[in-house]
Chain A
Amino acid sequence: MKCIVTGGNVKVLGRAVHSLSRIGDELYLEPTESGLSLRAVNSSRSAFASFLFAPLFFQLYEPGGRQPDRELVRCKVLMKSFLGVFRSLPSLEKTVGKCLILLKPRANRLVVQLHCKYGVTKTHNLAFQECELLQAVFDTQRCASTLCAPARLLAEAVVHFPQTLAEVTLGAGPGGKISLRNYVEDEAVPSKTMVTELRLADDEFQTVAVTPGSRITFCLKEFRGLLTFAEASNLPLTIHYDTPGKPVVFTLEDTVLEVHLVLATLLDPESDLQPPTANGVSHVPTPSDDFADDLESYMIAMETSAYEDGPSGVPPSPTFPLRTPRPAESDPEEEEEEGAVPGTPPHKKFRSLFFGSVLTPGGPGPAPTQEVLAEDSDGEN
């Protein structure tokens, strides 16, 4: 793979990396014929982002590089080291005229070269690992609710919440009002926590097609990261969501750029769409308590269901069939987890951001419900 980015696009690339660095510790690079895709997923697999830069974004774009078989090599690098190349955005703008990205599979090096003012060149030789596809499968068409707004509106909305706030609840209220509110954990003492709620009229949005009364809760940190990018790029942001527990998808589109951020949402015990909860703990609303095991071991189980072998139909929900890179499989901890998958319920209750509920021990196996992170290999139909 070889590509060259010039002028203002270097900064766009830099901002994308900053945004992705809010998500995960590793950056996945996938050169494809339709462009270069940069992706990241967080460690609990509850957040995924992808930035697809179309070939036109580049001055030169050769996904296959000069390899004879033109086999496309996917790789991942440490986020920290890639971010190091683009650390200072103001100086990128001031000094860098051209950026060359070169994947050298033989030398096992990802070379990022910045051509700066005064003829100075910075060459970063980064170690990478080859990896398989990192893909979250989601279908924004199947989301019941869609909102589209200028990034600035949403950026001005989130300033009302403290930087330390973990989650925010987005809701569609009566009269078409869209609200944002800080999520207060069950455990928090209500008499100690300030509750902030912001209401926006629907005419501030470009599109409002939401299920009345719907609301979802998601992590603010990653969303802020995307907003910074969207605001700087002056792009409208579209939010696709469904019922609580199903991922929310944020999208940005441009002629040369396509951005997706997929975030887990909390199961909402108060929502009408969910059955009442027992003991303040929400359980997965299925006859059989299928969310038996630890989320992570569940994730590992899902790796065996290959993306390509998945259901031919549209996936039932935004899901993440993840195929983690081979080197990771040698990780002893993960192996242990994997070994623990069949029928070994973990002792502890596991509260996942993705499921938003406390998972109690029970039977193993993927759940047929919507709240899955990884795609159900058997499909729904």
Chain B
Amino acid sequence: MRFRAKIVDLACLNHFSRVINTIAKLAKTCTLRLTVSKLYFILSDKVANGGVSMWCELCQGNFFDEFQMEGVAAEHNEIYLELVPDNLSRALRTAQSAKAVKIKLTNKHCPCLRVAVELPSLSSSSRIVTHDIPVGIIPRRLWNDFREPSVPDFDVSIYLPVLKTMKSIVERMKNLSNSIVIEANLSGEMNLKIETDLVSITTHFKDLGNPAWASEDGCQSSAQNRDLESMAEARIDIKKLQQLLAGQQVNPTKALCNIVSKRIVHFILLHEDVSLQYYIPALA
């Protein structure tokens, strides 16, 4: 098992840092899956996490100048690691002006992801900072636990409004309530609602647009025969939603959510080659 990669381009490095910061905000520990062409950060659906799960996928070619990996076997050319994303985020935090960042899998005292940062200095030689981030190697028999969740059979799929506006609204609502109802229809309308003994608040968004999903196998059938005006709704933990909105640093070019009535809200944030999916289950 081998892995080594290198980033030289500053823009790529900053973009990569923002992705990692986002992951660090959303998950205490996560799984890093490495394949020849892609990196995945995965938080699998555990009750302890409130049932939230995350799937973040990036193409290595858009970030790394060098990327070599060799999995456990030729027919299973993948590596699965468990790590604390905040460690990686911290290592990259002081690397913003780096000349180069190398990441490699090592096994000295324990398996580590070594991040070596070459920083400019006042002298002829560079300053080198290395961070040994402990990782756990996930054996192949457990790989099945980390498969990509399928897009749920949603009732409504809708583009999200400007995330900054949504973040501000959800932050105020969080001061007042523990749960939030998110509802949307196929006419581009979405409402955020809270209701308590003291206050009820509803924010109405319109003209958001509904993405067209290709129904290859008819699995998105729930949305197809739906009345365009009727709302699909789910009540979710407001803290989880706030975490996503406050934590995301990818500044997505497209953001959307899929609502399965009373079951789950599935968020998708897309930024060029990065996709982040986040699943928040509905409260009873």
Contacts and interface: CB of A to CB of B under 8 A. Distances in A.
A191 B124 contact: no
Contacts, number: 56
A257 interface: no
Interface stretch (A13-21, A200-208, A337-345): A200-208
Contact of A190 (B94, B109, B128): B109
Nearest to B110: A191
B131 A195 contact: yes
Most chain A beta carbons < 10 A, residue from B91, B122, B124, B136: B122
A194 B125 contact: no
A232 to B, nearest CB: 19
Interface in A105-128: none
A160 interface: yes
Interface residues of B, number: 23
Contact of B129 (A162, A192, A198): A198
Contacts of B111: 191
Given A162-B90, A194-B90, A194-B134, A199 B128 contact: yes
Given A197-B129, A198-B129, A199-B128, A192 B121 contact: no
Given A153-B122, A159-B94, A200-B121, A190 B134 contact: yes
**Interface residues of B: mostly helix, strand, loop or mixed?**
mixed
B87 interface: yes
A193 interface: yes
B132 interface: yes
Nearest to A200: B127
A91 interface: no
A335 to B, nearest CB: 46
Contacts of B37: none
Interface string A203-228: 11000000000000000000000000
A290 B123 CA distance: 47
B133 interface: yes
A95 interface: no
Contacts of A190: 109-110, 134
Given A162-B90, A190-B109, A191-B110, A196 B121 contact: no
A199 B128 CA distance: 5
B91 A196 contact: yes
A219 B91 CA distance: 21
Interface in A69-106: none
Nearest to A153: B122
A195 B94 CA distance: 15
A206 B126 CA distance: 16
A162 to B, nearest CB: 7
B127 A199 contact: yes
Interface in A145-202: 153, 157, 159-160, 162, 190-201
A28 B278 CA distance: 57
B130 interface: yes
A190 B135 CA distance: 11
B56 to A, nearest CB: 21
Nearest to A195: B132
A289 B104 CA distance: 46
Contacts of B109: 190
A195 B90 CA distance: 11
Interface in B89-147: 90-91, 94, 109-111, 121-134, 136
A46 to B, nearest CB: 27
A199 B109 CA distance: 20
A194 B127 contact: no
Nearest to A196: B131
Contact of A192 (B90, B94, B134): B134
Given A160-B129, A191-B110, A191-B134, A201 B121 contact: yes
B134 A198 contact: no
B123 A204 contact: yes
Given A192-B134, A194-B90, A203 B110 contact: no
Contacts of B134: 190-194
Contacts of B87: 194
B125 A201 contact: yes
B265 to A, nearest CB: 34
B128 A198 contact: yes
B101 to A, nearest CB: 13
Given A162-B90, A190-B109, A191-B110, A204 B121 contact: yes
A194 B127 CA distance: 19
A47 B121 CA distance: 31
A200 B125 CA distance: 8
Contacts of B126: 201
Given A190-B109, A196-B129, A204 B122 contact: yes
10 nearest CB pairs, A to B: A201-B125, A203-B123, A195-B132, A191-B110, A194-B87, A198-B129, A191-B134, A199-B128, A204-B123, A196-B131
Interface of B: 84, 87, 90-91, 94, 109-111, 121-134, 136
9 contacts: A190-B109, A191-B111, A194-B132, A194-B133, A195-B131, A198-B128, A199-B127, A201-B123, A203-B123
Interface of A: 153, 157, 159-160, 162, 190-201, 203-204
